[in-house]
Every structure is written in C-alpha cells, then in structure tokens.
Structure 1
Amino acid sequence: MHTDEVRVRLETARALVAESFPGLEHLPVPAEGTVHAVYRIGEDLTARFPLRRADPAAVLQHLYSEAAAAGELATCSPVPVPVPVGIGRPGHGYPLPWAVQTWVSGRTAAEDDPGWSPAFAADLAGLIRRLRSVDTRGRRFAGDGRGGHLPDHDAWMETCFRRSAGLLDVDPLRRMWATFRELPRADGDVMSHGDLVPGNVVTAGGRLTGLLDGGGFGPADPALDLVAAWHLLDDGPRAVLRDMLGCGVVEWERGRAWAFAQAMGLGWYYVESNQALSRLGLRTLERLSRAR
C-alpha cells in the first residue's frame, strides 16, 4: 500500500513474537491493517508491526508515545479499547520495533455499516463528549497531521488535487478547500480520538461497542472528531449527532474541513492498493459535496 513499505511475513511475525514474548502460547494469524501489519495472537492479543520504513529510534519513541496515549484513552473511553501490553525488538529481517496490545472483539463499521442508526449517532455523541471532558493538562496540539491549523495542509491538498485528476472533478473540490481553509478556530484544544473512521469503530446491532487505534488520543481542534459525522453517518443520524453535541456553524464546518482533507487523501492514494479505503474517501467526498 506504500512505496516505502516494509513487508512482514507470517513466519517473521511468529519468530518475533516467540523471541520477545516467550510466554505467549498462540501463534499469530493475520488481521487487517493499513499503516501496520496486524497479527492476532490467540483470543486476547494482537501484534502490530509498522509498515512504513523509518529510523528505528524514531519508531520506538513513537510506539512509546502511542502506548501512553492508548493507555490514557483506556481510562476514559465508554467502550472497550486496546490496552498496551509491550514493545517488541527488531529481528529476523524485520528492521523496526513493534507493539503488542489487547484485542477488541467484534466487527468494525467498515464490515457492519451502522450509518443508518440514530442510536449509533447518539453513542458517537456520547463518546465525543466523554473524550472532550478529559483534562488536557495544559497540552496543545503539537503534531503535523489533522487537528491543528487548516492552512498547514495546503501543500498536501494540492498533491491530492493533482493526483485525483481523472478520478474526480477537481475544480469544485479546490473551491471547497479554498473556503474551508479560511475557517477560524471556534475554541481551544480538547482531547480527541483523532481518527474516527469506519475501520476504527466496532459496532453491533447499530450500536457502538468498541474503539480501535487509540494511539492518536490527544489534544486537538474540537472539530476534529466530527469527521465521524461524514465518514460514518447517513443524513438523519448525522443531524442527531450535531444536535446532541450542540455544534455551532463554525465548529461544524471545521469538522467538514477535516473530513474533506482526510477523504481527499484516501481516494487516490489507495485506489489500487486498498479499494475499500479508496471507496470510503470517495463516499465521504460525495456526502460533503451534497451537504453544500
């Protein structure tokens, strides 16, 4: 899926788990992942191997930061989330550190679409309210991804527009971004999950039952988690979410802007390598365009 991808074969995963965690009795089996190769270990654990080549020391520091964020999320999430277990060493031809965490059972919203469900929208609103209520302890958004200053993403968006030519009608999308990037901040940073997309949300019977990928939990624009409104919800449930959160116009539009920036990247980037993610991006863009 990535030009700098590091391959992690099943036999390599098994050897690494046996070496770093000799007490684990179950052999890894593959699960799905996009920035990690994910291997489930028995019923309760999963190993996550970073897929993109990078400096091992930087990856190790990132894994420690992700573990701290995921541990903090586990203390406040209203639904089960993965809990960090440990960090494994490189070896057997795999050059990077990697992590083990607990497994959250169930089907993701990518497999079992809950977008029709007002109850699911209410669950999402409760989740976002709960995460926002966590004390930032003076922390501010300090990353280079989504959640800070919208115009900081101009260069990436230009790449997306250029690479999307032939896949999408780019001119109206450029005009949408020109409007989005001028939106002012509504409030200070709050704690946010940071990536509420279908593959990170576990559902059953049209309800929220779990949450994945908590390593990005941290302070960000209050509108960031509103990407869920566009990635996950149909029109009626989306209105439920907005009403329950009491979103003002600027905050709601900034949520649209963050969803737009993410969707523009998904559409072209994964068009060959992960068609489900590409379709997600295109569906979100269609929802955002229809809402104008």
Structure 2
Amino acid sequence: MKLTKIALFVGAATIGLVGCGGGGGGSTPTSSFEATAIDGKLVNAWVRADCDGNGEPELGPFATNESGVATVTGGALADCAIFVEANPDGSTYDAQKPSKKIAKLFLRTPKGQAVASPFSSLIALKMLANSSLDLDSAVAELITDLDGLGLTKEQILGDYTSGDTKNVKAGLAANALFVTLATTKEEFNAGVNNSANLIAKAKVIKNLVNNQIAKLENAGADLAELENWTIVVEFTNDGKVIISAEEVETPATDRPNKVEKPAPEAPTEVPVIVPTPTPIPSVEPTPTPAPGTGTGTGTDGGGGTGA
C-alpha cells in the first residue's frame, strides 16, 4: 500500500500586540502590529495582510522569526486579515522539526485576528462561505465541530500552545487538521464552495486524533507526556487516512510517565472534496434564414401605359 507521509508537530508561539510607529522630524506615522503563524511555530514563513478587504494581500511579505512572529507595517490589525505562506526560497520550517522544510502552506485569519493557525483558517472558511456568520458564531460552530478537545474561544483564536490558553490536545489536533487545508490562496478560495465537506473531513480526522490521545492516556501519559508526542497523518493511494502518534524529534529528558507508541488507527475513509464547476453562460444562436425565403412582397414588372 503506497503511503504519503506528513508529520506535523506542536510548537509554541506568542500572540502579537498592536502598536504604532512614532512619527518624528516630519516623518509620517506608520501603523504596525505583530502577526503570529503557528502549526508549530512557523519560522521563515511569509506573512502578508489584506487591509482593504478585497481578498488580496497588499502588505508584505514579512518574514517570521524563530517564535513564528512577524511585524506587519503599513496597516492596523483591526482592518486586516492575515495570510501566511511558505517562503519560496524553501527556508520555512516548523521550529520543532528544523530539518524538515515546508515547501507549501497556506493559513489565514478572519479580519482583526493576529494569530494564523489551522483553527483560524477553518473559521475564515466558514465566514467566507456564509456571509451572515459573524466571528463569534463561527467560533462557536467550530468548537462544536471539534468537540472533545475542550477548546475555548481564546484558544481557538489565539495561542493554544502556551500560557493561560495552552491546550496540549488542541495543539495535537490542530497539527493533524493542517492536512485538511489548502496549500495556496487559490486552493483556499476554491474550497469556500466546499466548506461543508472540508469541515466534515476535519471532524473525521479530529475523532481519529482523539482516539490516539486516548490510547496514550490509557497507557499512563499525562499532559506533560503528551507534549513529547505529535500526530502523523498518512494517506493511502485509495484516499483513506491513517492517523498515528509519534515522538517529537527532541523529547524531554525527564519523562516520569513515558509511554510506548500506541497502535495506529485503522485506514478510514474521509469526505472527498469535489471542486464546484464554474457555470458557463449559454448563448442562444441567432437563427439563419433558410435559402430561398424572404420577408418582403414584390409585384411583377409590366410595360407602361400610354395615352
């Protein structure tokens, strides 16, 4: 059975704060803010911003640092949606797996959100697919979709990998959900018409991740031990998905509750994402008159009459 293997890792990042550049000596003040890119911490990723609302980023690119943070200049966070892509020079990587470079990725946020993650991308997808859906409603829907992870609004919009909003299980699921997302802006936009299928696919993968977490916990893993694990997503050549747990590249040295690798989940079918075809306008052809027919009337010609 042919497998394509994608290992995705949990990292930490810091939520950026909004700031303004000072203006002095006649210079024009420049608005700026920090944007964070996380699957794990995404280093050397390109961050762009769409601040005029046309769906095309006009600011950037700005490269992320080792914390997955980039400073965006030229706009205010409240006006901007964040777009994250892989650096075309091939240098983008997850901070917990620096040896594995990421060639293609795409994450985005709803307008006004500073942290781009798999969760923020799914929220943006929901809002684009349903223009009547506001941010709070989209977040509430996704929390329901991903039940079992114990997610809060703060975690789903922000940094679920550290601080008061840390959620280890959510981090594992987010990294696995990464493979359900588009890898380019064009693919993401095309997926808006397939948002229901994409969410259904995310639910299947979330359930499989929960099964792996349960196996680790049943073997004795606590939250500290779960941080030493990541989720591996494999796709078979017939379109099924296999979810398994794997130790991170550099696990902690002190692991009092260390557990063994659990058995992977059985190959599972996932919803197929079928692109919605663009309708082609029909044009009615202009009828061509049949030969030898006409629309006018005529009279036979005759000789003149004389007096």
Which one has more relative contact order, counting CA pairs under 8 Å at least 6 apart? 1
Using the size of structure 1 for normalisation, the TM-score is 0.25
Using the size of structure 2 for normalisation, the TM-score is 0.24
More strand by share: 2
